[in-house]
Copies of this chain bind each other. A is one copy, B any other.
Amino acid sequence: MSHARVESIKEESINRITKDLNKYVRILKELVSYRSVTSWGLDEVRDCASYLSDLLKERGFKVSVKSYGGAPVVLAEVGSGSKSFIMYNHYDVQPTDPLDLWRSDPFNLDARDGLLVGRGVADNKGNIVARIAAVDSLLDYLDVLDLRVKFLIEGEEEVGSPTLAKVVEDNLSWIRADGGIWESAYVGRDGRLEIPLGLKGILYVELILRGPSRDVHSGYAPLIPNPAWRLARLLSKIKDENGVVLVPGFYEDVDPEFASAAEELIKGMEYGELEGMLKELELKEFVRSLKGVDALRELYMRPSLNISGLYSGYTGKGVKTIVPSTAGVKIDIRPVPGQDPRKLLESFKRYLIELGYSDVEVLVHSIYPSGYTKPSENVVKASVKAAREAYGQDPRLAPLTGGSGPIYLFTSIAKTPMTGAGVGYYGSKVHAPNENIRMNDLINGMKHVALTLIEFAQGAP
């Protein structure tokens, strides 16, 4: 296609996005209004999937909504070109507690002062809307671009995507594409888009320790074994005072190809991005006083092990005096490329036994490996060029996000290279109260997806 023709498609696409912006904000408002928290139950989750299905059908997509037992997955396709492109998204969101810290109802999009506040606006409903807007703006040109666009929108990402592996297995040839976009990418403090080329895996376990068969009046505390003390001692042996994980083999098996690509990318990254977090979170410093390249390496190249929740006994207001019958901890472990989370789980369990905790109940809530795409892939180059145009600045490529997602199902199982796009920014408060995006990032995010599709259709830039 001639350069002039490509430029005119770009111009047309961007004009449409700008003109129809309010329409997409209304769609986002509708989407946010569904309390699609899968761990709360499936009623509103199913309603949200239906709404998405209708939305895509209106645009000429062929849609199928499939259920694998839990929240349904929406599969949709438009266009008939020879190049295929897939968008991964999820319509489920995190729970909203602590509710009293929200400035407004998390399920009622609050648009004020250039901000859009609501659960899911950044993670990941805003991205769904941006991608729909991008495809809308190119619907008339899909044939010219020889492009076929697919959406896979699941409803179980925030509970660890328990059925996505089955979805991918059952629809493997449909899912396999020449390139795709994952859910995440965000704008940094310097206005540059940060595109992660992969995600960590996850191993989410809950450990439950038991003491007496019921809570006992703590007058008997001098005699009754208290599982809360035992849990505290166990935790102090899982991580040392410097934050180093003591589970044998925890840092081993990292893919050397990933490691060298990551080292290269980290050279181009800005530590300032992370330093800004310190101020925002009112922290003096990061763990082990990490900074600069060391902090970037820790975040983007190494596995993590974190306490997401801790509970035992009476946690309400005021005073209650008991020896609790149970104590529990929710731990999220995030492996990097090359690491097998099942091997990590076995090593973790062996370590528990070694420490004398063989009686501890280990619930595995979620488990999958990491996945990533090499920076040299066409789809990555297309998204980099598109970002330069949409944001007016070079994007920053990150080897991974600190977060997790089952991207390995696309990159490893479906052999589809994936890049990033996203409407969030460094202050989006993902997973926290007052999750928000900036209106301007929403517009740029829409443009970026549209331009990525156009660049990708042209072949390697």
A86 CA to B158 CA, complexed, in Å = 61
Q: Does A443 reach chain B (CB closer than 8 Å)?
A: no
Does A144 interact with chain B (Cβ within 8 Å)?
no
- A226 / chain B contacts, CB cutoff of 8 Å: 306-307
Tell me how many chains of this kind the complex includes. Answer: 2
Q: Tell me if A317 and B39 are in contact (CB < 8 A).
A: yes
Which chain B positions have C-beta within 8 A of A324?
307-310
Contacts A39-B319, A283-B212, A310-B315; is A221 near B332 (CB within 8 Å)? yes
CB-defined contacts of A322 to chain B, threshold 8 Å? 308-309, 431-432
Instruction: Report whether B212 and A282 are in contact in the complex, using a CB–CB cutoff of 8 Å.
Output: yes
* Residues in B whose Cβ lies below 8 Å from that of A403: 217-219, 321
Q: Is the CB of A219 within 8 A of B321?
A: no
Residue among A202, A211, A312, A320 with the most chain B CB within 10 A? A320
Stretch at the interface among A17-25, A231-239, A255-263, A368-376: A231-239
A319 to B309, CA, bound (A): 9
Interface contact B223-A299, CB-CB below 8 Å = yes
Whether A313 lies near B307 (C-beta < 8 A) is: yes
Q: Which residues on B sit within 8 Å (CB–CB) of A280? A: 213
User: Does the CB pair A204–B319 fall under 8 Å?
Assistant: yes
A401 touches B219 (CB 8 A): yes
Closest to A323 in B: B306
Roughly how many angstroms separate A239 CA and B230 CA in the complex, as a whole number? 10
- The answer to whether residues A315 and B313 also contact, given A218-B304, A221-B306 and a CB cut-off of 8 A, is no
Q: Taking the complex as formed, is A270 at the interface, i.e. its CB lies under 8 A from any CB of chain B?
A: no
Contact of A160 (CB < 8 Å), options: B95, B287, B319, B365? B319
Given A218-B308, A314-B308: A287 touches B319 (CB 8 Å cut-off): no
Check B314 against A214 for contact (C-beta < 8 Å). Answer: no
Q: Which residue of B lies closest to A302 (CB)?
A: B222
Instruction: Collect the chain B residues with CB atoms within 8 Å of residue A308's CB.
Output: 218, 313-314, 319-324
B309 x A320 contact (CB < 8 A): yes
List B contacts of A328 (CB < 8 A). 315
Q: How far is the CB of A155 from chain B (nearest CB, A)?
A: 14
The answer to whether A223 touches B310 (Cβ under 8 A) is: no
| Chain B residue at minimal CB-CB distance from A221 | B306
Residues of chain B contacted by A366 (CB below 8 angstroms): 319
Decide yes or no whether A215 CB sits under 8 A from chain B.
yes
A303-343 contacts to B (CB < 8 Å)? 304-324, 327-330, 332, 334
Q: Is A228 at the interface (CB under 8 A from chain B)?
A: yes
Also in contact, A315 and B309, with CB within 8 A (given A225-B283, A298-B223, A431-B217): yes
Contact with B along A420-459 (1 / 0, CB 8 A): 0000000001111100000000000000000000000000
B431–A298 contact, CB under 8 A?
no
Q: Which residues of B contact A249 (CB under 8 A)?
A: none
Least Cβ–Cβ distance between A326 and chain B, in angstroms: 10
CB pair B283 A159 closer than 8 Å = no
Contacts of A311 in B (CB 8 A): 310-312, 315
Determine the chain B residues whose CB is within 8 A of the CB of A315 once the complex forms: 309-311, 315, 328, 330
* Chain B residues, CB < 8 A from A228: 235, 307, 310, 329
- Given A218-B403, A228-B329, A318-B365, 11 extra CB contacts under 8 A: A101-B214, A214-B433, A216-B432, A219-B401, A221-B332, A222-B299, A225-B286, A309-B313, A309-B316, A310-B311, A320-B431
A to B CB contacts below 8 Å, 9 in the list: A219-B403, A220-B277, A222-B299, A222-B302, A223-B299, A225-B283, A232-B232, A311-B315, A314-B330
Binding site for B on A (CB under 8 A): 38-39, 94-95, 97, 101, 158-160, 200, 202, 204, 211-226, 228-229, 231-233, 235-236, 239, 241, 243, 274, 277, 280-283, 286-287, 290, 295, 298-299, 302, 304-324, 327-330, 332, 334, 365-366, 401-404, 429-433
